[in-house]
Structure 1
Amino acid sequence: MSLVMSVFMTCWVTYINLGMRPDFALQWGRAFLMAWPAAFLIAFLFGPLLQRVTQRLLPGDGRNA
């Protein structure tokens, strides 16, 4: 999940900030290489807590009918 989110978010934010330039792929790649480790760490650290919060907020046993 952190990989997919990092790919799309860094692409979008790089495009917003720089537009489509000749070095877009290079700039996007740099942004991705910095963002993915951070996204992975955040997902790893906060994932269990957010799952518990979600389970408390949703009615029932958490399974879809």
Structure 2
Amino acid sequence: MRIPVRFAPLLFGALLSAIMVSLVSAFVLLVNQGLRPDFLGTWARSCATTWPVAFLAVTLVAPWVRRVVARMTA
């Protein structure tokens, strides 16, 4: 299945935020609670509740970051 290119920024934000939330929430849970029997369920709930916030942040902030990087690089 191919997604139209006009949705590329949203797809980028969705994938980047999902990967970041998954990695960071797993790390934080492991550091704070250790590897417990309910780790996967807790991790899944953490990802599900924080991903929408991360998606909005990445989607809204990415254009600004691209402009800043363009000004900082030659």
TM-score range, shorter chain: 0.7 to 0.9
Identity %: 36
- Choose the corresponding residue for 1:25, options 13, 32, 40: 40
Q: Gaps (5+ residues) in structure 2?
A: 1-15
Higher relative contact order (CA 8 A, sep 6+): 2
Q: Which runs of 4+ in 1 moved over 6 A?
A: none
Trace 1:1-65 onto structure 2 (pairs within 5 A). 1-59=16-74
TM-score by length of 2: 0.76
The aligned length equals 59
TM-score by length of 1: 0.85
Name the structure where helix makes up a greater proportion of residues.
2
